[in-house]
Structure 1
Amino acid sequence: MFWRKSPKTATKDQSEAPFKTGAGPVAERGQGTAAAEQQAKGGAVRAGTSSDADVADFIARMKTMTPAATGERGRLVFAMDATMSRAATWEMALAQQSEMFAAVKSVGGLDVQLMYFRGTSECRASKWVSDPEALARLMRSVSCAGGLTQIGRVLVHALDESARHKVNALVYVGDSMEEDIDHLCARAGELALLGVPVFLFQEGDDPVASRTFREIARITNGAYCRFDRGSARQLRDLLMAVAVYAAGGRKALLALVEQKNAGARLLLQQLGGGAAGA
């Protein structure tokens, strides 16, 4: 069975061990959101497609992501919110994410672990996979179900994986946040100490999620970007650029630029552009 529950590992707070049934940082409805809502006051993001400022900030922060050293394979944890609020755009998101992994096939050197959460306590991770077709099949096996967010479990799982073997980056795609923002920021701080940047893609414009995702990105030296149906192509290009850069660095980005990938072009410009020194 490809999807697995993560083994219970010791953490500073045993109640946060990822995938532990009935435990973890999943708040009861109506709890854990008041602090986040307070944090979000004054930080609302306007509705609509990703702004130019969002994209520029995302690309600029991508400079902090260091490709795997020569002879080493990059490791990327890719986590998805599979709660019911994402059902309307789920198929679109899966297609974009599949293209992201297909883009690194010719580059090689990237292992990906897929994660998802849904329902009251379901949160699972796959084995580490390098084959794009296998990754696509895994993603297609996941459907949406009602429940609250379990972002805390995702962060703790990334911590545990990186403690065992270096994780180069965590990518998270979701639309809301129903947990305590301070709790999530504490876990983000631990990831920062391990040098794991978090790249967050927000569907829609929920202000609580926007505030939280921006803060997690800031703490971990990662990046944040919003998307909706109107910016689907932009999201796909940025996802592809993240994966290709994680696997092969500048040379891989140059090859992707030649394929007219806008995300790769923007990222390469921030890294200094041009083919020299690639």
Structure 2
Amino acid sequence: MSGGRDNSKSDGDIAHSGENRSLPEQQPSTSDDIAAFVAKAKAMSPYAPGRTGRLVFALDATMSRQPTWDMACALQADMFREAASVGSLDIRLVYYRGLNECRASGWISDTAKLAKLMGKIDCRGGNTQIGKVLSEARREAVASGVRAVVFVGDAMEESVDDLCVKAGELGLLKVPVFMFQEGRDAMVERAFREIARLTGGAWSRFDPGAAAQLRELLRAVAAYAAGGREALLRLSRNDSGAAGLLEQMK
């Protein structure tokens, strides 16, 4: 994605009430917080038929991701199209970049609007903030329900144990995280696979040379978010991407 775009005001419409919403700093959980969270998790249903599916689409927008950012922008449209065949889908865009910048949009049900928002974001150098992404997904899962999380990134510079705790919390809420890894860093792969395992999700490579496969995988995630496991099962009968995700989710 071109770094020449002026983003000083352009992405103001990606957050609630026209203001760009930064995600808060992470705070340690107290024992009371954890007990309340576990009780809430046990009481929640992982899937409510008839409700609009909600999917958090999270992206690493640091400078190393610049060559494949536009590819991610194009593939998101396929998620909406697939979801439309089984139900309805709202997507919340979350991204991080630069020095401690991590932002989230409101819920979006229009593929053209999401594409426009993503097109206004340029990649900037900085460290990973995967912990904030997982915390945001947990907050939304408790507040309004999230059926799945997609994360696309190529690095992991945080404590893997801390990330696994947050992943475990999403697992209790029955929110699978689908981790798409760009590149072949072995340490990153181990961390991403563990996050996927703890949440009941799946891991896959984000390979620019395999656009067709990626399209199948993201369509499968969207089908799951919109229609639950049954929708994914139906799709898997004729879709290798869906079949692969379903196998990992077992």
Instruction: Identify the TM-score tier after normalising by the shorter chain.
Output: 0.7 to 0.9
Higher helix share: 2
2:125 paired with 1:146: yes
Residue 193 of structure 1: aligned partner: 172
**Counterparts of 1:119 and 1:7, CA distance in 2:** 14
Aligned residues: 219
State the TM-score, normalized to the length of structure 1: 0.69
**Counterparts of 2:52 and 2:222, CA distance in 1:** 12
**Counterparts of 2:191 and 2:247, CA distance in 1:** 28
- Unaligned regions of 5+ residues in structure 2, if any? 1-12, 31-44
2:173 paired with 1:161: no
Which deviates more, 98-107 or 158-167? 98-107
Letter in 1 for 2:21: K
Contact 1:108 1:247 in 2 (8 A): yes
- Unaligned regions of 5+ residues in structure 1, if any? 15-65, 272-278
**1:95-244 maps to which residues of 2 (within 5 A)?**
95-244=74-223
Residue 51 of structure 2: aligned partner: 72
Q: Compared with structure 1, are the counterparts of its residues 198 and 255 closer, same or farther at alpha carbon in structure 2 (3 Å cutoff)? A: closer
* RMSD value, Cα: 2.9
The Cα shift of 1:93 comes to: 2.2
State the TM-score, normalized to the length of structure 2: 0.76
Letter in 2 for 1:210: E
Letter in 1 for 2:28: K
Q: Compared with structure 1, are the counterparts of its residues 12 and 163 closer, same or farther at alpha carbon in structure 2 (3 Å cutoff)? A: farther
**Residues 225-256 of structure 1: per-residue CA shift (max 9 Å, x gap):** 11312222101110011102321247756886
Residue 2 of structure 1: aligned partner: 14
Contact 2:22 2:101 in 1 (8 A): no
Aligned residues with identical type, % of pairs? 55
**Counterparts of 1:215 and 1:155, CA distance in 2:** 13
**Counterparts of 2:105 and 2:89, CA distance in 1:** 15
**Counterparts of 1:164 and 1:9, CA distance in 2:** 18
The Cα shift of 1:109 comes to: 2.0
